[in-house]
């Protein structure tokens, strides 16, 4: 019987539950110095002077460095697409452009000494006008980078087709703010470095991509990749924001080399809220057109992306928004253009979904607005426009090719499980009764792209002479459970118990190549690589078995129920993995090992339907999420326990964006949500238990038939909850409320609608 | 100043700065790194330990305040024979953890919650965990684990 598809509990857990994980801050580094950063308290200013003399003289301080001490080139541009004039210097060079930008690095014998002395660094600021809102930034009245001459970092102008809405009976436009949010992994950023006697940089990093850290750090410090050894130990969450290297990481490595002593750095949460990249940050102008029979015929999305102060990963995310712009619908004409602009705020980066939640939010909100405009049930409008199951592979108007889909099925299941008709009856009852607690039902039919990058992944499987198995993977899990899932894949192919399988990740010496864990790619790229390596190692073992049995190779069979090889027809004469691995070493000195560098199997397009039920207190504006039904299709599910866990986490983050969370700045660029007391991080008390279901439509794109499940939660849940809030208020004349739908926003929307009606 | 604290049944005595927080004392003086620091505003609960049998956020207790107290961390929760505490066991069975960073604090908070309220409703658990943040699980399986553990009479010990 196959182990795949079973709810195997995690092999990772006993350690975490009994003594806790080993995160970078937990590493024992004898003699390590502590690094803290002096950060800008102003959003935009020239640095007239930085006086470090008092800090340098303080007890325990080893050194204080500013930009010119380092002599390092600025951060690299993101995939070569953004202007050189906008690159971020390693420590501020003459100008600061956001609150929290590192200005000086202070190294001391203890953390306490470093924190105390950092207070003594005197920074003389000459304030400049700050630009906070991307809608203002695009006007180029205040320019962040004079050498660039503009605040626009990147544009994609597809040339708006004014005729695309010709002939539409109905055409509606809405500006939708997809607000800036904070990823908030529970573990903040942390790194440590020391130099070996041979001159090699040993680097420890809380990262999603240790090989990327190795290569980026080597380039930044003018070293060869082999001169750097990166280990990511246990990592306390990432959500995309730990997929890239930060300037602080490079300073840690530089300081360790310069000082010749181990250096460690762990930011505080208040620093992390300013320093770790933020997610989302789009202002969308969406236009939808169609006919009163419910047919949608045109959709246009103009995206204004907030890059923050230095264009990073956030700048290019609108490409992903464009890729998914028309969602699950057969819309004949659809287009998306974008402009990414810099502002005096924390740089934006990938955050769970990374451009796709923004796409789903736009189209799903607009479908509801369209439904309201023509007076049709939003479920019915969706049904009439879904791409049919027999239309795949399906090419969208922007050229995206969806692999496979059963969109109607997930919608039907969600409506059925939720009891949609009964919910509408109850909604009518409350409306008729003028109940202060109104009911809202929100739908989101989504499709997204996973494994969307061209890189493949490394995986290897080695059988040791004692019969145990070691798996090396280029993915870098930080909660996803790859040790368990990859063990299951290998156990399935080799017929060995998962307890005999060790999975190694996150060490760039032991795992020679790797890309990492982000973009819902791991199972498709890394899992398929490991699966292929397992298949290959079985084939190699058959060669050895053929020699040992003195039999024809094609007569050798693997009995997976016992984990032994034998000649067909003589199962009693069997040899186990240990014997074959021992024979392999004895024969040629080489271990029984198969390595695979899997080329990317290509992107897949998970889909599903989420349905949210909310209660809105119309007297206070308070929204309560009552139910959340998620029907997701990620193709073949290797371990439902892990897959559900991914959905749960993503849904919670989606609900958080819809109802609670927002990074807020005042007009001068001062952050107002720079710690977890002020930022509305969602808690258990604000959520119900979720109702999660899967349909399994395998993708033809990769051998496992698997699609990504890591990000569907934020993509599916956010618009469902958002739509539910507006739905609860529709009879009061409310057509749109921006996220997060806080009590204040909801209450104001009700009041404004009442005033419009009264006017 | 010198503080003497019984940590997981072992008497520990160390010189500390008066400003030393209990969490830093546990991690650095005693060397138990299972208790994590997730914020600096007493918001996240990653540092939750038991002091005198009740949950406290160890980032908001000075080591000096804990002088003479009995403190239990995640490392001290399992039974002497190595068996996991029912709350720990329920977390494993219900996939109540992913990255593991909030987990020690969550487990300690739930252990304390079940001592106060041995038969909580889902709502009780959710309100009781308001001060413990998790970014991975959406709390779904944490709540399930807490409710499952509450059915085990041993969870109160």
Return the residue in A239, A642, A683 with the most chain B beta carbons within 10 A, the one to mutate for interface testing. A683
- Per-residue pLDDT reduced to its tens digit, B134-153: 999 999 999 999 999 999 98
Mean pLDDT of A220-228: 98
Tell me phi and psi for residue B93, to 5 degrees: -65, -30
Identify the structural domains of chain B with CATH numbers, from first to last.
2-76 (3.10.20.30), 86-152 (1.10.150.120)
Per-residue pLDDT, B155 = 81
Determine whether the interchain pair B137/A10 forms a contact, defined as Cβ–Cβ distance below 8 Å: no
Per-residue pLDDT, A129 = 98
Question: Percent of chain A beyond pLDDT 70?
Answer: 100
- Per-residue pLDDT reduced to its tens digit, A625-644: 999 999 999 999 999 999 99
Distance between CA A480 and CA A475 in Å, rounded? 10
Residue spans of alpha helices (H) in A138-246: 210-220
Residues of A in contact with B108 (CB under 8 A): none
Per-residue pLDDT, A307 = 98
Per-residue pLDDT, A716 = 98
Shortest Cα distance, chain A CAs vs residue B118, angstroms = 19
Mean pLDDT of B102-129: 98
- Per-residue pLDDT reduced to its tens digit, A148-198: 999 999 999 877 787 999 999 999 999 999 999 999 999 999 999 999 999
Determine whether the interchain pair B37/A112 forms a contact, defined as Cβ–Cβ distance below 8 Å: no
Residues of B in contact with A683 (CB under 8 A): 129-133, 139
- Per-residue pLDDT reduced to its tens digit, A481-521: 999 999 999 999 999 999 999 999 999 999 999 999 999 99
Return the residue in B73, B108, B140 with the most chain A beta carbons within 10 A, the one to mutate for interface testing. B140
Q: Is the peptide bond before A73 cis (omega within 30 degrees of 0)?
A: no
**Closest chain A residue by Cα to residue B33:** A26
Answer whether residue A656 shows pLDDT above 80: yes
Tell me phi and psi for residue A320, to 5 degrees: -70, -35
Distance between CA A344 and CA A92 in Å, rounded? 14
Answer whether residue B35 shows pLDDT above 90: yes
Return the residue in B136, B144, B145, B149 with the most chain A beta carbons within 10 A, the one to mutate for interface testing. B136
Determine whether the interchain pair A187/B101 forms a contact, defined as Cβ–Cβ distance below 8 Å: yes
C-alpha distance from residue A48 to each of A41, A122, A358, A529, A574 (Å): 14, 11, 40, 54, 79
Determine whether the interchain pair A10/B95 forms a contact, defined as Cβ–Cβ distance below 8 Å: yes
Mean pLDDT of B74-92: 95
Shortest Cα distance, chain B CAs vs residue A274, angstroms = 13
- Per-residue pLDDT reduced to its tens digit, A572-592: 999 999 999 999 999 888 999
Q: How many residue contacts between A and B have a Cβ separation below 8 Å? A: 178
- Per-residue pLDDT reduced to its tens digit, A395-426: 999 999 999 999 999 999 999 999 999 999 99
- Per-residue pLDDT reduced to its tens digit, A113-136: 999 999 999 999 999 999 999 999
Nearest to B33 among A14, A20, A480 (CB): A20
Res. A79 pLDDT band, cuts 50 70 90: confident
Return the residue in A21, A60, A185, A186 with the most chain B beta carbons within 10 A, the one to mutate for interface testing. A186
Res. B154 pLDDT band, cuts 50 70 90: confident
Residues of B in contact with A13 (CB under 8 A): 91-92, 97
ipTM: 0.98
Per-residue pLDDT, A77 = 86
Can you list the positions of beta strands (E) in A569-655? 574-576, 592-598, 607-617, 623-633
Q: Are A343 and A308 in contact (CB under 8 A)?
A: yes
Shortest Cα distance, chain B CAs vs residue A268, angstroms = 7
Q: Which helix (H) or strand (E) holds B132?
A: none
Shortest Cα distance, chain B CAs vs residue A481, angstroms = 7
Residues of B in contact with A482 (CB under 8 A): none
Determine whether the interchain pair B75/A20 forms a contact, defined as Cβ–Cβ distance below 8 Å: yes
Determine whether the interchain pair A186/B102 forms a contact, defined as Cβ–Cβ distance below 8 Å: yes
Mean pLDDT of B38-56: 97
Identify the structural domains of chain A with CATH numbers, from first to last.
13-128+186-237+242-275 (3.90.1170.50), 279-450+603-758 (3.30.365.10), 457-598 (3.30.365.10)
Determine whether the interchain pair B103/A17 forms a contact, defined as Cβ–Cβ distance below 8 Å: yes
Residues of A in contact with B75 (CB under 8 A): 18-20
Q: Are A646 and A652 in contact (CB under 8 A)?
A: no
């Amino acid at each position: 019987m196959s182990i795949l598809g079973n709810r195997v509990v995690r092999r990772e857990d006993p350690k975490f539950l009994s003594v806790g994980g080993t995160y970078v801050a937990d590493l024992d580094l004898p003699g390590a110095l502590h690094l803290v950063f002096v950060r800008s308290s102003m959003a935009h200013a020239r640095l007239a002077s930085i006086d470090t003399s008092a800090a340098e003289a303080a007890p325990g301080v080893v050194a204080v460095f500013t930009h010119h001490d380092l002599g390092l080139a600025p951060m690299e541009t993101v995939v070569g697409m953004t202007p050189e004039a906008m690159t971020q210097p390693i420590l501020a060079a003459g100008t600061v452009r956001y609150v929290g930008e590192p200005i000086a690095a202070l190294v001391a014998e203890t953390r306490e000494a470093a924190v105390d002395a950092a207070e003594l660094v005197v920074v003389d600021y000459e304030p400049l006008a700050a630009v906070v809102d991307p809608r203002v930034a695009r006007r180029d009245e205040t320019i962040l980078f004079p050498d660039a001459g503009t605040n626009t970092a990147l544009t994609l102008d597809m040339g708006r087709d004014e005729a695309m809405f010709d002939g539409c009976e109905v055409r509606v436009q809405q500006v939708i703010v997809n607000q800036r949010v904070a990823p908030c992994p529970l573990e903040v950023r942390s790194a440590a470095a020391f130099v070996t006697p041979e001159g090699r940089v040993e680097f420890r990093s809380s990262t999603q991509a240790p090989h990327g850290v190795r290569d980026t750090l080597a380039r930044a410090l003018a070293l060869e990749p082999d001169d750097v050894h990166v280990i990511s130990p246990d990592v306390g969450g990432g959500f995309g924001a730990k997929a890239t290297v930060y300037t602080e990481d490079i300073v840690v490595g530089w300081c360790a080399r310069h000082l010749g002593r181990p250096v460690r750095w762990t930011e505080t949460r208040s620093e992390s809220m300013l320093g770790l990249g933020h997610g989302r940050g789009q202002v969308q102008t969406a236009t939808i057109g169609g006919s009163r029979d419910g047919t949608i015929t045109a959709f246009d999305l103009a995206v204004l992306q907030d890059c923050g102060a230095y264009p990073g990963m956030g700048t290019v995310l609108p490409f992903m928004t464009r890729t998914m712009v028309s969602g699950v619908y057969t819309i004949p004409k659809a287009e998306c253009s974008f402009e990414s602009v810099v502002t005096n705020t924390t740089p934006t980066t990938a955050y769970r979904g990374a451009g796709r939640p923004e796409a789903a939010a736009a189209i799903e909100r607009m479908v509801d607005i369209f439904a309201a405009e023509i007076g049709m049930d939003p479920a019915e409008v969706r049904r009439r426009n879904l791409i049919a199951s027999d239309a795949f592979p399906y090419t969208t108007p922007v050229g995206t090719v969806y692999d496979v889909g059963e969109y109607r099925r997930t919608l039907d299941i969600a409506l059925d499980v939720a009891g949609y008709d009964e919910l509408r009856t109850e909604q009518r009852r409350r409306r008729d009764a003028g109940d202060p607690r109104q009911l809202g039902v929100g739908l989101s039919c989504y499709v997204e792209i996973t494994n969307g990058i061209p890189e493949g992944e490394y995986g290897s499987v080695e059988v040791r002479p004692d019969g145990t198995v070691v798996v090396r993977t280029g993915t870098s899990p930080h909660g996803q459970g790859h040790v368990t899932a990859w063990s299951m894949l290998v156990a399935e192919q080799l017929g060995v118990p998962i307890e005999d399988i060790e999975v190694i990740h996150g060490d760039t010496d032991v795992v020679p190549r790797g890309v990492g864990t982000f973009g819902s790619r791991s199972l498709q790229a890394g899992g398929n690589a490991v699966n292929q390596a397992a298949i290959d190692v079985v084939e190699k073992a058959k060669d050895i078995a053929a020699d040992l049995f003195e039999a024809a190779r094609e007569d050798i069979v693997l009995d997976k129920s016992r984990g032994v090889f034998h000649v067909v027809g003589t199962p009693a004469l069997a040899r186990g993995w240990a014997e074959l691995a021992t024979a392999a070493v004895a024969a040629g000195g080489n271990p029984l090992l198969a390595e695979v560098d899997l080329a990317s199997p290509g992107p897949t397009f998970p889909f599903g339907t989420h349905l949210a039920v909310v209660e809105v207190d119309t007297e206070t504006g308070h929204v309560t999420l009552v139910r959340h039904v998620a029907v997701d299709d990620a193709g073949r599910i290797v371990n439902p326990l892990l897959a559900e866990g991914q959905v749960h986490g993503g849904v919670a983050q989606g609900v958080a964006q819809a109802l609670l969370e927002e990074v807020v700045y005042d007009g001068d660029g001062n952050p107002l949500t720079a710690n977890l007391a002020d930022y509305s991080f969602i808690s258990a008390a604000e959520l119900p238990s979720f109702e999660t279901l899967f349909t399994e439509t395998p993708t033809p794109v990769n051998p496992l038939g698997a699609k990504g499940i890591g990000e569907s939660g934020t993509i599916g849940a956010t618009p469902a909850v958002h739509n539910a809030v507006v739905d609860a208020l529709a009879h009061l004349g409310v057509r749109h409320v921006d996220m997060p739908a806080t009590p204040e926003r909801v209450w104001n929307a009700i009041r404004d609608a009442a005033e419009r009606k009264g006017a | 100043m010198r503080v003497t604290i019984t940590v997981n049944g072992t008497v520990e005595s160390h010189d500390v700065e008066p400003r030393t927080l209990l969490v830093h004392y546990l991690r650095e003086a005693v060397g138990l790194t299972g208790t994590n620091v997730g914020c600096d505003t007493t918001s996240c609960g990653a540092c939750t330990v038991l002091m005198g049998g009740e949950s406290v956020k160890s980032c908001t207790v000075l080591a000096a305040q804990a002088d003479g107290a009995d403190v239990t961390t995640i490392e001290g929760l399992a039974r002497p024979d190595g068996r996991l505490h029912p709350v720990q066991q329920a977390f494993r069975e219900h996939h109540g953890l992913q990255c593991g960073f909030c987990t020690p604090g969550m487990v300690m908070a739930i252990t304390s919650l079940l001592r106060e309220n041995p038969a909580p409703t889902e709502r009780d658990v959710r309100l009781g965990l308001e001060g413990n943040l998790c970014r991975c699980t959406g709390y779904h399986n944490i709540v399930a684990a807490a409710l499952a553990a509450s059915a085990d009479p041993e969870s109160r010990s």
